[in-house]
Amino acid sequence: MKRKAWLLIPVLVAALAAPSPASAARIDNPPPDYVTARHEVTPLAQGLTLTNFQRLYPYGWVNGWLLTADLSQSTLTSDVITAPGLTEREPVLDMAAREGAVAAINGDFFALGGSGIALGTVVKRGQYLQSPQPSWPNGVVVGTDRIGRLATVALEGTVTTPYGSHRLTVVNTPVVPEGGLGIFTPLWTKDRPWAMGDAQEGREVVVQAGRVVSVSGRVTNVPVPADGFILVGTNEAARFLDPLKPGDPVEVSYRPSPAVAWAIGGQNYLVRDGAVVPDLDNTSRRPRSAVGFSADGRRMYLLVIEGDSSRSAGATLAEMAAFMKSFGAANALELDGGGSSTIVARRPGEPLTVLNLPASAQRPVPNGIGLFAQPGSGRAQHLRIDGEARVFSGLSRTFTVTAFDEQYEPVAVQQVQWGAKGPGVIGSDGRYTAADAPGSRVTITAAAHGLTTELQVRILGRVARIEPQASGGLTLLDAAGSTFTVVGYDADGYRALIDPRDLTVEYDPSLVRVEPEGDGLRAVPVATGSGYITVSVQGHRAVIPFVSGTRSTLLASLGQTALWMFERHPEQVTGWVAPSQGPGGDRATALYYTFAPAEGNRAAYLQAVAPIVLPGRPDRIGLWVQGDGQGAWLRATLQDAAGNSYTLDLAPRVDWTGWRYVEAAVPGGVTYPVSLHRIYPVETDAQRSYSGMLVFADLTVKTALPMPDAPAAEVPGPDAILNPGVPAGPESWSFAVLAALPDVAPEESVKAALEADPRFFLVGPGLRSQVREILARLGAAAVPVYEMAPPARYFDAGGVRFILLGTEQGGLRATAFHQWEGLDALLEVTSRAGSIRRVVVVGGQSPLRFRDAREGQLLQERLTAFEDRSGKAAAYLGAGGAAPGVTRVEGVPYIDAGTPRVPVIFTVDPTADSLWLRMGR
């Protein structure tokens, strides 16, 4: 009977429920927008959740973070968060921590140079703090009714003097409009050189404690009094201020109209009244931030999309709008993006931290949107069991319990009662010891404070090999030593940490001390030297080499000023290099610099005229620095022999005067020798302008003592798929894999494969017609031939479903993205298909070697999840590879057929359990 393949384009469940080998179907659903790799929702407080999602799109990965806030929740409030002054900037993490927020994102766009203020309206705690720039009208508000809206806020204000009253035009803006009257409050902490703009007439009035202190016809550099304000009027408004003289009383009152709880500005509206705004840019992907509200305004969405990295491609404005609408926003506004995009949160049991990967170091910004939770009761309302939910047969796992109150703030746990439902036992200390029952599930229960929680734990097989997470050995350069964990694998490739209390650890106590710490071990140096730490469990052992102590080499380079020159970024930075003296009176080099106002980061480089080659294979580089107390970020740049550049952080802030030794580790993976190119201070705050001088002396490199050679690791024997050891059952059948045909005598390869009486051939892209012609000449035209190329297909044979994927471009996405949706749908239907007992996914390229390693990992996760939910076995057959091989990952064997121009015969044994697929020649 002729077997037909089904197209693997998105599948209808009804159509796939019971496919007949003789039938064929075509499903022409549109290709998917994306594939979800991760979607995790974490509660942060009553009415507030955090969602992290990772998606694969045809154009790459997107990683996003979403805060969803129920604005009607009485214990949750929202507000604008700001730097201490409107003309100052601060990282969102510092801003949120200082104001007590449990979560926050960055806010409005701002001027990188000049005043540095945000461009839009700022209302905080109901107080009108700042007027928008004329070209920046868009914004959002949350009213006193806790309803969020797209809206602009007007200013209602009056200035009253003994000579009359005048409408207040603007609050804290760099330029007062012509004919307008503006106020500068103590939140304006910079000069005001542009306040009168191009007006022909102007007045500045300084008011302190309610009375005029001075009047001027020009803008002065007098700072705003802490207990007062400064009025600036132009043209007609200047004439209103003319009569004022020192000592006159002045009153100012102003408020937002309508009254709101808070307001903030942004650039483009993304969604309005439930519809995506038309004509948004759909070409430029970058990091983005946005704020939005549900149709009733009672739910707020704060979204950050990462970008500018392989981790995440970013989003266009149109894509950002689609994101916001899909999450439930009926109205949404674009906030500042790029390097400003930042989201922070306090996850349960953790400190407030930055969640996204900013495009650069945390950029200081003027404002953001914060979420605030009322303090909890301190009484436990939630329990969580902590610890890896896997354990090897015969080994143990120590679990702990964390308690939280209703606001997810940690609560001290007084006493825990542990229980285990399933094979194994658990002690009163939370240490569970698994029985020898591979594949079993155990329910660990914990009771405390009148609450009970549970965790499902999987028992793996016995340990088949172990792997210390200490690549290259341990370099113990300081008294704290170094930590490492030991990972084990069972025979099916399932991976788990090994509890340190299950390990036998051997070492020389005169050189090192090894002690348990959390899920791993800490090695602490006792004396200078080198040696080995041996760990073993269930008959398997691994050896970790270590070395403690370094050899320091002092270089004379910084004492030779002629080897250095001054460089800068940008051109507004000025400076020079000069000889100086080190801490011991020896020669040193001084760097004089001035950070004048400029946009973005500024740097003054002590640049090597020619790269300073560092001797040996240094692990650390250090030097003595005479500080100037200006607080610049001190960095250095190395270049390795492969031409790669590395930036080292020597000190986060030069906040000292006098001499201090600083050093940094040379990054791992460099190609020696390495060279020093520059040492430099960096100023990231565009608002700060100053001059300074740093003196550098005694360049030192520290090289670890030689690492001893590591003994050869355990080499597992050949996998049973390659070396079964027992014959296949009488009902076994075979199929042939031929990824390529030899250039000479291709017919002989096909003929050799036919000797195994294969039910079908699996062939590489473009070979189907040629192989079918050869089979016809050999009298075997009835043998089906399936091609591993898009459009991907699947077919059933002997209770096994074969899914053929096109991967010749290095993965599914690069070859034909629509295959992902078909694969997901087909695996779901197959998990419920009674006639299908096993699945073989076939592709030219193994996911272990996909060009995009994350996509390969995603495919691995899909196959493992299929096995877990269906109880059916899966395997991945890679038609290529340099040599035959099998790698088992999380229960799934990944098979390389190898030698692609030679036919490979696979045998399916329907009566076998674990050894149901084997490879021969």
Tell me what the mean pLDDT of segment 503-532 comes to. Answer: 96
Fold topology of 469-486+500-549: Immunoglobulin-like (2.60.40)
Tell me what the mean pLDDT of segment 554-561 comes to. Answer: 95
Contact 737, 756 (CB under 8 A): no
For residue 9 the two structure tokens come to: 């384009």
Query: Could you tell me the strand order of the sheet in which 441-448 lies?
Result: 390-392, 451-460, 441-448, 417-421
DSSP for 587-609 reads EEEEEEEEE-S-SS-EEEEEEEE
For 666, counting Cβ atoms within 10 Å of its Cβ (0-12 exposed, 13-18 middle, 19+ buried), the class is buried
**pLDDT tens, position by position, 651-708:** 999 999 999 999 999 998 899 999 999 999 999 887 789 999 999 999 999 998 889 9
Cα torsion 330, 333, 339, 341: sign = negative
Where would I find the H helices in 570-669?
none
Lowest mean pLDDT among 55-69, 125-139, 675-689: 675-689
Q: Judge whether residue 332 has pLDDT over 50.
A: yes
Tell me what the mean pLDDT of segment 611-628 comes to. Answer: 95
CATH number of 155-257: 2.60.120
Three-state secondary structure of 183-234: EECCCCCCCCCCCCCCCCCEEEEEEECCEEEEEECCCCCCCCCCCEEEEEEE
Q: Judge whether residue 53 has pLDDT over 80.
A: yes
- The total of other beta-carbon atoms located within 10 Å of residue 513's CB is 13
Whether 382-460 and 469-486+500-549 share one fold: the answer is: yes
Q: Where are the domains of the chain?
A: 38-151+261-373, 155-257, 382-460, 469-486+500-549, 552-704, 733-920
Q: Judge whether residue 6 has pLDDT over 90.
A: no
Lowest mean pLDDT among 98-102, 582-586, 738-742: 738-742
Query: Could you tell me the strand order of the sheet in which 431-433 lies?
Result: 396-398, 431-433, 425-426
For 882, counting Cβ atoms within 10 Å of its Cβ (0-12 exposed, 13-18 middle, 19+ buried), the class is exposed
Task: Please report, for residues 607, 608, 641, 702, the alpha-carbon distance to residue 612 in angstroms, rounded to integers and kept in the order given.
Answer: 10, 7, 13, 15
Q: What is the pLDDT of residue 478?
A: 83
For residue 388 the two structure tokens come to: 């890896």
Lowest mean pLDDT among 20-34, 386-400, 801-815: 20-34
- The predicted model scores a pTM of 0.86
Q: What is the pLDDT of residue 19?
A: 37
Q: What is the pLDDT of residue 735?
A: 96
b/e map of 442-477 (b: 16 or more CB within 10 Å)?
A: bebebbbbeeebebebbbbbbbbbbbbebeebbbbb
Tell me what the mean pLDDT of segment 97-122 comes to. Answer: 93
> What confidence category does residue 32 fall into, taking pLDDT thresholds of 50, 70 and 90?
low
> What confidence category does residue 310 fall into, taking pLDDT thresholds of 50, 70 and 90?
confident
Least Cα distance to 55 among 32, 31, 30, 34 occurs for 34
**pLDDT tens, position by position, 194-244:** 999 999 999 999 999 999 999 999 999 999 999 999 999 999 999 999 999
φ/ψ (deg, to 5) at 386: -105, 135
- The total of other beta-carbon atoms located within 10 Å of residue 830's CB is 24
DSSP for 778-817 reads TT-TTS-EEESSSSPEEEEETTEEEEEE--TTSSHHHHHT
| d(C-alpha 157, C-alpha 168), whole Å | 5
**pLDDT tens, position by position, 241-256:** 999 999 999 999 999 9
Tell me what the mean pLDDT of segment 580-605 comes to. Answer: 92
CATH superfamily of domain region 733-920: Metallo-dependent phosphatases (3.60.21.10)
- Fill in the DSSP letter of residue 312: B
> Tokens 């799934």 label which residue?
892
Q: Judge whether residue 14 has pLDDT over 60.
A: no
Contact 408, 45 (CB under 8 A): yes
| d(C-alpha 480, C-alpha 522), whole Å | 9
Tell me what the mean pLDDT of segment 831-849 comes to. Answer: 94
φ/ψ (deg, to 5) at 753: -65, -35
Average pLDDT, whole number, for the chain?
Answer: 93
Q: Percentage of residues in the chain with pLDDT exceeding 70?
A: 96
Long-range contacts of 320-326 (CB under 8 A, 24+ apart): 320/270, 320/288, 320/290, 321/270, 321/271, 321/276, 321/277, 321/280, 322/276, 323/64, 323/290, 324/270, 324/271, 324/290, 324/292, 325/271, 325/274, 325/276
Per DSSP, the chain holds a count of helices (H) and strands (E) of 9, 69
Tell me what the mean pLDDT of segment 61-89 comes to. Answer: 97
> Tokens 């009094």 label which residue?
225
> What confidence category does residue 30 fall into, taking pLDDT thresholds of 50, 70 and 90?
very low
Tell me what the mean pLDDT of segment 734-750 comes to. Answer: 91
Three-state secondary structure of 6-26: EECCCCCHHHHCCCCCCCCCC
Sequence-ordered list of residues with C-beta below 8 angstroms from that of 326, at least 6 positions apart, any chain:
none
Q: What is the pLDDT of residue 402?
A: 97
- Fill in the DSSP letter of residue 848: G
| d(C-alpha 784, C-alpha 775), whole Å | 10
| CATH class, range 552-704 | mainly beta
Lowest mean pLDDT among 422-426, 589-593, 723-727: 723-727
Q: Judge whether residue 900 has pLDDT over 50.
A: yes
> What confidence category does residue 23 fall into, taking pLDDT thresholds of 50, 70 and 90?
very low
Q: What is the pLDDT of residue 60?
A: 95
Q: What is the pLDDT of residue 668?
A: 82
Fold topology of 382-460: Immunoglobulin-like (2.60.40)
* Biggest distance spanned by C-alpha atoms of the chain: 113
Q: Judge whether residue 1 has pLDDT over 90.
A: no
Q: What is the pLDDT of residue 7?
A: 55
Higher-pLDDT residue of 594, 911? 594
Beta bridge partners of 43: 49
> What confidence category does residue 473 fall into, taking pLDDT thresholds of 50, 70 and 90?
very high
Tell me what the mean pLDDT of segment 330-355 comes to. Answer: 97
| d(C-alpha 483, C-alpha 517), whole Å | 8
For residue 358 the two structure tokens come to: 């900013």
| d(C-alpha 68, C-alpha 739), whole Å | 50
Contact 56, 813 (CB under 8 A): yes
Lowest mean pLDDT among 88-97, 352-361, 529-538, 586-595: 352-361
| d(C-alpha 763, C-alpha 746), whole Å | 13
